[in-house]
Amino acid sequence: MDDFKFKVLLYSDGSHQAFSAAVYTANLLKLMPNMYLTVVQVHERDEVSMEKKYSWIDTWPVSPTSEWMKHVLDESDTETTSEYHEILNKTNAIFLKRELNVSHQELYSDSKISEISDTVDVILDYATKNSFELIVMGTRGLSSLKGLIFGSLAHNVLNKSEIPVLLIKKLPQDFIDDYLSNTEG
């Protein structure tokens, strides 16, 4: 039974919701010694010219760029920024501690088809072919007209997947406080 690996796919798009999902997943990773995590990003094929090599740690950089910070933070006040850095450092520490169990994968979609539909298919195809037991994604809900017409990416994955999907909304403050107060890395 020691060889059992619980394979988890974490979808990352750089959003605040994806950050919440990463923090939640880091907490799971810390609690589950048999968990193997793959952080997945999906790019449009047009972006191939902008392609660069990533490691999983690039998704949650130790020293985030200001552009990346803008995607993650809703507010730029000092308290929020300080808490973000504390959460990021703790998440990175957990990922680094389990480095052999964490990998990163970039996938590519064809943007000519419906962007959401193709991205869903790319994620599910990869998850199925690689025998993942769980998909974790952040969700922001249906806030735009496009979301109302086509549905959100996360909800489309949830509805089409035969693999269990865990959707994470923005984490409640008490979860963050508990996460930060737990001093084990």
Q: How confident is the model at residue 54 (pLDDT cuts 50, 70, 90)?
A: very low
Per-residue pLDDT tens for 116-156?
A: 778 899 999 999 999 999 999 998 755 555 555 445 888 89
CA gyration radius, the chain:
16
- The three-class DSSP label of residue 41 is strand
pLDDT value for 50 = 43
Q: Which CATH number fits domain 6-48+56-141+152-181: 3.40.1380.20, 3.40.50.300, 3.40.50.620, 3.20.20.80?
A: 3.40.50.620
How remote is the C-alpha of 13 from its chain's centroid? 7
Per-residue pLDDT tens for 169-182?
A: 888 888 888 888 88
CB 109 within 8 A of CB 42: yes
Q: What average pLDDT is seen over the chain?
A: 77
Residue 159 φ/ψ, nearest 5 degrees: -70, -30
Residues 80-100 have a mean pLDDT of 80
Q: How many angstroms separate the CA atoms of 120 and 125, rounded?
A: 8
CB 126 within 8 A of CB 9: yes
pLDDT value for 25 = 93
pLDDT value for 95 = 83
Q: How many angstroms separate the CA atoms of 178 and 180, rounded?
A: 5
- Paired tokens of 175: 């979860």
The more confident residue out of 84 and 167 is 167
Q: How many angstroms separate the CA atoms of 17 and 34, rounded?
A: 25
Q: How many angstroms separate the CA atoms of 169 and 179, rounded?
A: 16
Per-residue pLDDT tens for 4-52?
A: 899 999 998 877 788 889 999 999 998 998 999 999 988 877 654 444 4
